[in-house]
Amino acid sequence: MALYASEQKTVSYLVIIKRAELLPSFLAKVSAPRISPLNAAHLPINKEIEMKKVLMFAIALILPAFAIAESPGKSELNDAEIAHIIVTANQIHIENGELAEKKATNKNVHAFARRMIKESTDINKQAKSLAAKLHVIPEDNSSSKSLKADGKKSLNKLKSFSGSEFDKAYIDTEIKLHRKVIDVVDIQLIHDVKNEELKALLVKVHTALAAHLEYAETIQGTVGDKH
């Protein structure tokens, strides 16, 4: 992840350099003599105004790339926050699965829901046990709050469906959630985690998420059209 970020920053700096290299030729073009005899008397003032416009345009040309290169990324998460994100994501899977056990009509959807409840519960037990072992109290944070809010919204929406419509909505919801959590794990959690045991748990979580996503995408084709 660190190497990727470094490469991204290098690309941004190359954009800045490239734009800077093009600046002299641009200045030469826009500052070429274009003053008519009628305006000759005002040459110093017009020239100054023209050059100011050129400089302002040049700054506008370069600054966006510089901003991309120097803009700070997301604030780094500590291990307590990472542990809480794991627990939060799995709790959403559990709650969705418990609803699916009651409302799903497709046998594959039922099987997926049972699997999600069991494996998410197991992961949460491991996460909480590890947190206790490390004397870490899981901390709420912007990522966990966002997951929780999205999970609550999705669960309320799922409650409004029934029959085959519920089956489709549940699987679609789980696919979206899995993709989102996988992105969070890949982009930030693996990068930020410090404790090796917690990192090992994250790797295990990632493997499980990938397997769940593949399973859900297979089921999606058996419960009707995607929506």
Domain enclosing residue 24, as ranges: 2-70
Distance (Å) of CA 191 to CA 74, 80, 133, 208, 214: 11, 14, 22, 19, 24
What is the model's pLDDT at position 222?
A: 85
Those residues with Cβ within 8 angstroms of residue 44's Cβ, 6 or more apart along the chain or in another chain: none
Structure confidence at residue 117 (pLDDT): 97
Tokens of 84: 């809480």
pLDDT, tens digit (0-9, with 9 covering 90-100), for 12-37: 444 444 444 544 554 454 444 444 44
| 3-state class (DSSP) for residue 71 | coil
Is 148 within the bounds of a domain? yes
**Class of residue 214 by CB neighbours under 10 A (exposed 0-12, middle 13-18, buried 19+):** exposed
Residue 28's pLDDT is what?
Answer: 52
Question: For the chain, which ranges sit under pLDDT 50?
Answer: 1-20, 22-23, 26-27, 29-43, 45, 49, 53-73, 226-227
pLDDT digits (tens, 9 = 90+) for 174-193: 999 999 999 999 999 999 99
Domain for residue 117, yes or no?
yes
Helix 79-103 with 142-158: angle, nearest 10 deg: 0
Asked if residue 83 and residue 57 are part of one domain, the reply reads no
177 and 107 assigned to the same domain: yes
- Report which residue type is found at 107: K
Number of domains in the chain: 2
**How does DSSP classify residue 56?**
H
Does residue 225 belong to any structural domain of this protein?
no
